[in-house]
Structure 1
Amino acid sequence: MLYTQLRSFHAVAREGSVTKASRVLNVSQPTITTQIKELEARYRLELFRRPGRRLELTELGRELLFITQRFFDVEGEAMGFLESAHDLVRGHLRVGAVGPYPLMKFLKQFRKEHADVTVSVDLGNSEEVLQGLRDQRTDVGIVSEIKANPDILITQFGSQSVVVFVSTVHSWSSRKSIRLADLDGQDMVMREEGSMTRQVVEKALKEKKIRSNVVMEVGSREAVWEAVAEGHGIGVISEISLQPDPRIKALSISDHKIQTRIDAVCLKQRQHSSVVRTFLRMVDAVNGESLGFTKTPNS
């Protein structure tokens, strides 16, 4: 009983709400609420304040979170150790990815070396891939460069060029490439500030004193895609995230190399699983050029 109570407390404390914790644990919200109340009653203390509809950790709650984080990290290490107690790598690897390329080439090499491992792939945007890890629906993810996260182990998979994309009715749709200076003053659709792709593009434009004219700022890659398809402006995207779409034409930048990092990610508590560990070791060792991207050393 104490274990499930601590697990519910930890999930709510980490996620910030009972609703999110319910999705992570796949447990009903009333059950989680009851378990936390029972934990508080058992030790006659308050772990959360409840101003209005919000939940805030008390000082005791913050101290307990520090302990439960270590507890569940160690639990994950123990599970990984037991799973990897034999040398033969077998089982099923669930991969989440923002795009099929160059993942499929990598998986061809992986399966050639580890024929006893079956693989399933689920495509989505970076946040969906990360959520799949948190929900333990996937074991590893391949995403465009992400920010550091205390729960996520990040291994550089490679780097890919950023490309421009336009609607097929745009005046550039008959071209195969553009020069960076061609973007001067052009209407552009961008992700929100903080997007890694936006940061590297705006840095390149600033270095060359090229004016960017962001006419629309949206909160997801899918929204950028739809806005460009509808003719609102020009978009930028890493090659790994390109998806076939008859409404869209991708153009390379011929005179300037703008790159974004591709990361392989997993939950830190899952890194010791034999199949996950083997996958990440192969990511470290792979020849990026054979997969169509640049492989640079991890920083």
Structure 2
Amino acid sequence: MQYSADDVAAASSLQFLTYLCVSTATFWTYYYAWSLHEEWTFLLRSRWNKVKCLYIITRNVPFVIITLDLYLYFTPDNHSEKCLMLINIYSSFGFISVVCSESIFVLRTYALWNNNKFVLVATVCTAITFVIASIDVAFTTIAASHVMTSAIPGITGCYRTSHGIQLSMPFLLLFVFELGLISLTLIRAMQNWRTVNGPLYTVLVKHNIFYYACGLFLAAVNVLMPMLFSQYAIHSVFENLQFYVLAILATRMHLHLWNVGQDLHIRGSDALMLALMSDAPLHFSDAPVLTPIPDAPTADQTV
């Protein structure tokens, strides 16, 4: 009874965030170990290109986010400025994770449009505008936030408290961006559904639609959470979920696309090139692209 209701609420939120962080770290470690063999095969056999670099960054940035989370909630430090600095770093890596995940699927959408430069330029310009706006809003909101710590001994860590439409704006922009990308995918699929029957084309379309559907759902939830709940600890769950789910989907779907290409023995390159974009447009309905060959392609073959 010596602690106020606010002290108990802050301690409860910190305990909740700590349990969530430990659960996430455990899941991510298990997932990494489970997929290590398949990923190692991909890294050794695939060519070095822009999508492979994006893949590696997207795959490993969540480890940095989880490490920052663990440090934030397990370090007994009541210094508010240090806490905000760590939250700023955490948010920066969150942006990097989302941008890399989205970039992989921007290139895949570009592939569906046969290297249409207008689609690429329009998409990249929109993405840059939204990223700059999101960064400005997010870090302004963090700077204006209050830092909460526990007055109860034995409960460490800190978190920020803030609410309002500012918290929703980055996710609202992400929602609009992904809505545009899924529209491009659906338009292209409807244009080519009679003429293109290639399995890789089908994989790209299905993956894109599923990825954007998940992204739209999570972004919509993150838009609504700050308006429905005042406690940051609650909508922090879905904010973290957005980072991790997008990273998992982007990397798993890319691995699956690459494996499909290996099974088909794509002549002239591995399946990575379908998402990477070579200098010449890729026509998924062209028979030579999917023509089986006796030997699997080597890593140094070119289109």
Q: TM-score, normalised by structure 2?
A: 0.21
Higher strand share: 1
